[in-house]
Amino acid sequence: MTFKDLRAFLDDLGNDLLHVSQPLDPKFEIAAVLREMSAAGRPVLFEQVLGHPGTRVAGNLLASRRLAARALGTSEDKLFDTYARRGAQCIAPVAASEIPAQEVVHRDPPDVGALLPLLTHHARDAAPFLTCGMVLARDPESGMRGMGVHRMMYKGGRRFGILLANPPLSVYLANAERDGKPLDVAIALGVDPAMLLASIVKTGPLGPDKMEVAGSLRGAPVELARALTVDLDIPARAEVIIEGRIVPGLREPEGPFGENTGAYFSNQSPVIEVSAVTHRRDFIFPALVPWTADVEALLALAGGAELLRQLKNQVRGVVDLELVPGTASFAAVITVRDCPRHEVRRLIHLALNLDRRLKVLTVVDDDVNPRDPREVAWAMSTRFQPARDTIIVDGCEGYIIDPSSAGGDGSKIGFDATRGTGSQFDKIDLPSAAVAKARAVLAELGFASG
C-alpha cells in the first residue's frame, strides 16, 4: 500500500486514530497528551489548537512496530526485511502536476510563530522547537541533494536555530561557509511516513539520493516542485514548507531542549532566516515528541535495521537486533544462533565501530527475547562473567547529545552474554505436552496465556 501523503496515511488509520476535539495549548499540552498515549502506540489527531483556528496537529504516527509496518504497507514480522530491501533500491522522483504545499504563500513572513502551531515540548525547553522537519539542502560543491531531520528552535520573528550535528547537511554547510555563502534550505513538515523515514536513512557520503530511496520505501516516486524563494525542489504533497537560508559563519545559543536521550541539551548552532512559508489551505501540522516510542520507531528502522543488515553480511549466526527503548539508540541487544565465542567478540567490535551512536551492546543467544528486559537481565546474570566477557573500546568520538560525553571523547562497551558451551547454561523448561495441556485448561477457565 502506498500513501501519497500524510493525510492518506491518516485516512487509512481509521478508528485507530484518536481524535481530540478539546482545544489544547501548543505549549506543553499537546506534547503531554502524545506522551501519555505513546506507550500504548496510539496515533492522535488534535482537532483544535489554541491560537491557531482551523489548524490540526497529528502525532504518535509511528509509535509502535505495528504502525511502522502499516506505514510501509507490510507486516510486523517482515518490517526490518522490507525496510532493508526497499531502502537499498531507488525510484527517481517526478515533476508534480499539482502543488498542494503551495496553496497558501507567505513571502518574508514577519512572524512565523503566528502562522504555525510551533510546539513547546518539555518544562525547561528554551522555546518552541520543530522536531520532525525534513530539512532539504544541496551540496554547493557536488550539487548533490541531501536531507535529514534536524531540531529547530524558534527564535521569534522569522529566525530559527538549527542543530546540524550530522552529515550530509553539516558537510554542505561547511562547504558553503568556506566560500562565505549562505546555504539554501527548505523544511518539509507533514510528509508521508515513508518519506520521513527515508530522510534519516544512513546512505553514507557517496550514497544514493534520499529522494530516490524515499520513492522506493513508499513504493511510488516522490512528486517534486520548485521552491519559491530558494534554489531547491520540495515535496509537492507536504502539508507545510518553510524556505530560508542558513546565515554563513553565525552561531548562536540553541537550547536547552529535552532531547531524544531524555536529557536537556544546549548548543551553539547555526541560524536560519526564513524567506517564505507555504502550506495547504487546511494544513495538518506534524508532532514528534522526543524520548517517546515515536522517535524509537524511527531510530529502530533508520539505525537498527541498517546495522542488522550490515552485521548479517559480516558474521554468521546473527539473528535479530533491538535498540533498547529510551536510550536514543545508544544501547542495543543482538541475538545470535550457534555463534562461537571468538565470533561474538568480532561481532561486538564490528557493531560498536559501525554505528557512531551505539555505546552499550549486549549479545545473547536466540533463546532470549531481546525485547524482554527480564530475559536479557537473566542472560547477563547467568551466562555472563564480567572479567571474561566484557569488551571496552576507548578513544571513540562521544555523540554530541550524549550528556555523559558532552561532545568530547567517549568509550563503548560490549557484553558477551551468550552461553558458550556447557549444558549448565540451558534455560529451565517444562515438557511441551504439559505446557499445551495447561494452556488448554486455562483457556477453558477464560485465561489466555502464552
Ligand X SMILES: Cc1cc2nc3c(=O)[nH]c(=O)nc-3n(C[C@H](O)[C@H](O)[C@H](O)COP(=O)(O)O)c2cc1C
Which residues contribute to the site for ligand X (CB under 6 A)? 148-151, 163-167, 200, 202, 260, 295, 298-299, 302
Q: CA 432, CA 366: separation in Å to the nearest integer?
A: 19
Query: Which amino acid is present at 304?
Result: G
Name the residue number minimizing CB distance to ligand X.
148
Nearer Cβ to ligand X (27/356):
356
Nearer Cβ to ligand X (302/333):
302
Nearer Cβ to ligand X (222/339):
222
Nearer Cβ to ligand X (23/167):
167
Residue with cell 524482554: 372
Beta bridge partners of 412: 393
CB of 93 to ligand X, least distance (A): 19
In a 3-state reduction of DSSP, which class is residue 314?
Answer: helix
CB of 203 to ligand X, least distance (A): 8
Nearer Cβ to ligand X (251/337):
251
Pairing relation of β-strands 318-323 and 271-279? unpaired
CB of 104 to ligand X, least distance (A): 27
CB of 299 to ligand X, least distance (A): 5
Nearer Cβ to ligand X (104/263):
263
Cβ neighbourhood burial of 143 (10 Å; 0-12, 13-18, 19+): exposed
Q: How far is CA 405 from the centre of its chain?
A: 22
CB of 196 to ligand X, least distance (A): 9
Q: CA 263, CA 191: separation in Å to the nearest integer?
A: 27
In the DSSP assignment, the letter for residue 66 is H
C-alpha cell at 390: 566484557
CB of 165 to ligand X, least distance (A): 4
- Counted residue by residue, the chain has a size of 450
Q: CA 111, CA 274: separation in Å to the nearest integer?
A: 10
Nearer Cβ to ligand X (61/376):
61
C-alpha cell at 89: 533500491
298-327 in b/e form (b: 16+ CB < 10 A) is bbbbbbbbbbbbbbeeebebbbbbbbbbeb
CB of 432 to ligand X, least distance (A): 42
